[in-house]
Amino acid sequence: MISIEDRYFSLSRILLLVVGLWPYQKSKLARLQFICFFSILIIFIIFQFTTFITSKCTANFVIKVLALVFVCICIIIKYYSFFINSESIRYLMEQLQRIYDDLEDSNEIAIIEKYGRNAKCYTAILTTFIVCSVCMFTGALIWPDILQIISSTNKSRPRQLQILTEYFIDQERYFYYLLLHTNTAICIGLVSLVATGTMLIAYFQYMCAMFTIASYRIENAIKTQISQDIIKHNKNLMYESIKNAVDIHRKAMALSINLVSKIEISVFFLIIFGVMTLSTNIFRIFQIGLSTRNADELSISIIVGFISLLYMFIANLVGQEITDHYNYIYVAAYKIQWYIAPLNIQKLLLILIQRGNKTFGLNIGGLFVASMQCFAALANTSLSYFTVMYSIRQ
């Protein structure tokens, strides 16, 4: 028996183990790891909010703080949501393994392996991107200090973090401890973001594979080249093939709905804070670019803004793929020579075609359906908020 966990989820498993979120790892050490990492993220946000106590809260200052606070809130929501839904994630993995084991047709196995490889490619590419982002992010934080070390001048400049925080201690004296905490929080946050995101992408890729298998079974239920006599002789086999197609199609829908229902609330808040993250960081990019030449702050805002936009795009792209693959079975039902099939099979195909009028997608609370249209709407909303903030500044 081939394990899809070892074959297609190996990199996701490593990433989730690093941040203590692997659903099969429930030891006391893993729970302690989760508590430690979650506490680091929470403390990091708290000490960003404490800057409002010791600083003058102008509009620009508030936006500067919130531009990073919002993305940290998104990470914490995703991190905690994945932890509390670990049982559902494990159940889904077991269901996918069971469906994979039930496949006997070599073409169907090839279909599901193709989408498994797509999932691995998504994971590898996004992991590489996040590693580069971590290096750039931490580099932007320590670059001023590096310049001071290699500079020929003996005059020392006060050291401060590029991310606004208030620990109520001497930041100059404890600079490297604070830098360690900041870099640790960033690494944990970005790794957990890509680990949970790629795991969900992999799951939905398997849903797409199941929809494609359903379409394949429909298309092969009736062969255009065979004669009427052979169809009558094999009508029971045809009926079973179509029934199996409908069965795996319904399973894919049920698993998709089940997964979305578990993370629906967290995704709703992710959408809200994701839009605000993108808006505030676009504002920061324009603000820094027009008023100062602080390359470190500018690079941080560009990285955060690009990550939020990319995450929003990929989430909606996956949702669009689910909707498109869901419709494939109805396209297949239209294309086959249904009119030469026995009457009972024609009735079954007619029901399938009629059901094709109902759309299906990853619906979030009845307000958002993951699709490219939704991505365009969210991006447009982010730009609208940016326009409002920029006009108020003016």
Which among 1-15, 284-298, 364-378 has the top mean pLDDT?
364-378
pLDDT (0 to 100) of residue 225: 41
Question: Tell me: the pLDDT tens digits for 68-118?
Answer: 999 999 999 999 999 999 888 888 988 888 988 888 888 889 999 899 899
pLDDT (0 to 100) of residue 318: 92
Q: How far apart are CA 138 and CA 181, in angstroms?
A: 11
- Is the model's pLDDT at 178 over the cut of 80? yes
Helix, coil or strand: residue 221: coil
pLDDT (0 to 100) of residue 357: 67
Q: How far apart are CA 285 and CA 389, in angstroms?
A: 13
Question: Tell me: the pLDDT tens digits for 218-248?
Answer: 877 765 444 445 555 556 677 777 788 888 8
- Is the model's pLDDT at 251 over the cut of 70? yes
Range 7-10 contact pairs with CB under 8 angstroms and sequence separation of 24 or more: 7/116, 8/116, 8/117, 8/119, 8/120, 8/202, 9/93, 9/119, 9/199, 9/202
User: For the chain, what's the residue count?
Assistant: 394
pLDDT (0 to 100) of residue 227: 46
Domain ranges of the chain: 4-393
**Least confident range of 163-177, 188-202, 215-229, 324-338:** 215-229
Residue pair 172/159 in contact (Cβ under 8 Å)? The answer is: yes
- Is the model's pLDDT at 272 over the cut of 70? yes
Residue pair 296/162 in contact (Cβ under 8 Å)? The answer is: yes
Q: How far apart are CA 37 and CA 58, in angstroms?
A: 32
Q: Shortest CA distance to 163 belongs to which of 306, 307, 310, 294?
A: 294
Q: How far apart are CA 106 and CA 238, in angstroms?
A: 18
Sign for the pseudo-dihedral over CA of 223, 226, 227, 231: negative
Banded model confidence at residue 5, pLDDT cuts 50, 70, 90:
confident
Q: How far apart are CA 37 and CA 34, in angstroms?
A: 5
Q: Shortest CA distance to 142 belongs to which of 175, 170, 169?
A: 175
Look at the pTM and tell me if it is higher than 0.85.
Answer: yes
Summarize the confidence of residues 176-198 as an average pLDDT.
88
Residue pair 375/266 in contact (Cβ under 8 Å)? The answer is: no
Helix, coil or strand: residue 168: coil
Banded model confidence at residue 278, pLDDT cuts 50, 70, 90:
very high
- Provide, rounded to the nearest whole percent, the portion of the chain with pLDDT above 70: 85
Beta-carbon contacts of 86 under 8 Å, excluding residues fewer than 6 positions away, are 21, 23, 26
The full DSSP string for 171-206 is: TTTTHHHHHHHHHHHHHHHHHHHHHHHHHHHHHHHH
Banded model confidence at residue 292, pLDDT cuts 50, 70, 90:
low
Residue pair 311/274 in contact (Cβ under 8 Å)? The answer is: yes
**Least confident range of 74-88, 158-172, 253-267, 278-292:** 158-172
Query: Mean pLDDT, the chain, as a whole number?
Result: 83
Summarize the confidence of residues 29-56 as an average pLDDT.
90
Q: Shortest CA distance to 276 belongs to which of 162, 192, 381?
A: 381
pLDDT (0 to 100) of residue 62: 87
Residue pair 270/308 in contact (Cβ under 8 Å)? The answer is: no
Residue pair 44/181 in contact (Cβ under 8 Å)? The answer is: yes
pLDDT (0 to 100) of residue 377: 93
Summarize the confidence of residues 169-178 as an average pLDDT.
81
Question: Tell me: the pLDDT tens digits for 321-361?
Answer: 999 998 888 777 777 766 666 677 777 777 777 766 677 88
